[in-house]
Every structure is written in C-alpha cells, then in structure tokens.
Amino acid sequence: PFSLLVVAGSGGHTTEILRLLSCLSESYSPRHYVLADSDKMSEAKIRSFEQKRAETFSESQFSLDRIPRSREVRQSWISSVLTTLHSILYSLPLTYKRKPDLILCNGPGTCVPVCLSAFLLGLLRIKRTIIVYVESICRVETLSLSGKILYYFSDYFIVQWPDLKKKYPKSVYLGRIV
C-alpha cells in the first residue's frame, strides 16, 4: 500500500485529477482527498469516482478532508498571503495526521498550503512525502500561480506541453496525460 493524498480543485482541476487517478493501481490506497471548504462540486465527483472504483477494487479506501480556500478567484495578492497562511495552519495538522507517502496535485490554489505543509514536515524529519505536481493541460505557455510556487518545492513537476519544458528545465514533459 502507498498512502496517497490528492488535492482536488473545483471544476476542471477535479476532472483532470480523477482522470489521472483512474490510471493508478489499487496499491495507491488509502486515498485522502483534500478540497477547499467552499468547493461544492468536487465532493460529488470524488464520491462517484470512488463508488465506481470500489466495484473493481473491493478493498478501496478513501477519505475527504476540507481546508479553508487559500485564494479566491480575483482576490488581491496581499490578502491572499493572509488566507494562504490561514490554510497552512489547517493543512499542517491534516498532513501530519494523514502522513501520505505521495501528494498528487494539479494546480488548484488549495494545493499550495498542503504541499508546503508536507515539505515542512519533511524538513523537520517527521515524514518525507513525495510531491508530484501536474500542470493543467490548459497551461500551454505559462505556469499557473500554483505551478510557479510549487516548481521549487515539488519532487516531480510534470508539464503537458513542450514549450513549458523549454522554459522550465526542471519539469518533466510526458505529453498529454489527461
């Protein structure tokens, strides 16, 4: 078993991450999903995905956790620093409690505090977690804000367009994966 923490985001981010998860074996269990407390759509998508997965893998286990949203759409940069710090305060105990082996995320703002919390736990030698960031397929020429931050903290930074690989040499280009 390989404990997996998945950060879901509203709308397209959740759809993309669930497509990625559908390719993973049953070894990635339990799956712990983290979503923003204001995200109403992702929970239903995740529950539906997990219900279908349970039909194939009878030992399928998952949990859902919520944290405060770190940044709302069109929120000012100054106030987003404060709300992100607030989210990190919620993420630290959650990440410590779940102690995932791997974090998989694809760009929602909610992933930044979760990944930074896991990175901090690794620095403190409490739990080393592999962070895999997959930039959204819609990011063709530039990284998302989450990507610009997590480029420096992730173990694997995956892009889906060759131009991004040229601009960000640490990234891994695998072509279209979602």
Question: Could you tell me the two tokens for 81?
Answer: 């620093």
C-alpha distances in Å from residue 157, one per residue of 34, 38, 110, 163, 172: 20, 27, 17, 14, 6
CA 123: distance to chain centroid? 19
79-129 confidence digits (pLDDT tens): 888 888 999 999 999 999 999 999 999 988 889 999 999 999 999 999 999
Nearest CA to 36 out of 66, 65, 4, 6 is that of 66
Q: In three state form, how does the secondary structure of 24-45 look?
A: CCCCCCCEEEEEECCCCCHHHH
* One-letter amino acid of 119: F
pLDDT mean over 161-175? 93
pLDDT mean over 48-69? 90
pTM of the model: 0.92
Cα dihedral 121→123→128→133 (10° resolution) = 90
CA 18, CA 21: separation in Å to the nearest integer? Answer: 5
pLDDT higher for 171 or 140? 171
pLDDT higher for 60 or 104? 104
Residue 51 has pLDDT above 90, yes or no: yes
* One-letter amino acid of 123: L
Q: What is the mean pLDDT of the chain?
A: 91
Structural domains of the chain in order of their starting residue, each with its CATH number: 4-173 (3.40.50.2000)
Res 16: pLDDT: 92
16-43 confidence digits (pLDDT tens): 999 999 998 888 989 999 999 988 899 9
Residue 131 has pLDDT above 80, yes or no: yes
DSSP states of 115-169 as a string? HHHHHHHHHTTS---EEEEE--TT-SSS--HHHHHHTTT-SEEEESSHHHHHH-T
Q: Scanning the structure block, which residue is given the tokens 């960031």?
A: 133
* 113 upstream amide cis, omega within 30 of 0: no
Residue 44 has pLDDT above 80, yes or no: yes
Res 58: pLDDT: 78
Helix 12-21 with 42-56: angle, nearest 10 deg = 10
Nearest CA to 139 out of 95, 173, 89, 112 is that of 173
Res 12: pLDDT: 84
Q: Scanning the structure block, which residue is given the tokens 């610009």?
A: 148
Residue 135 has pLDDT above 80, yes or no: yes
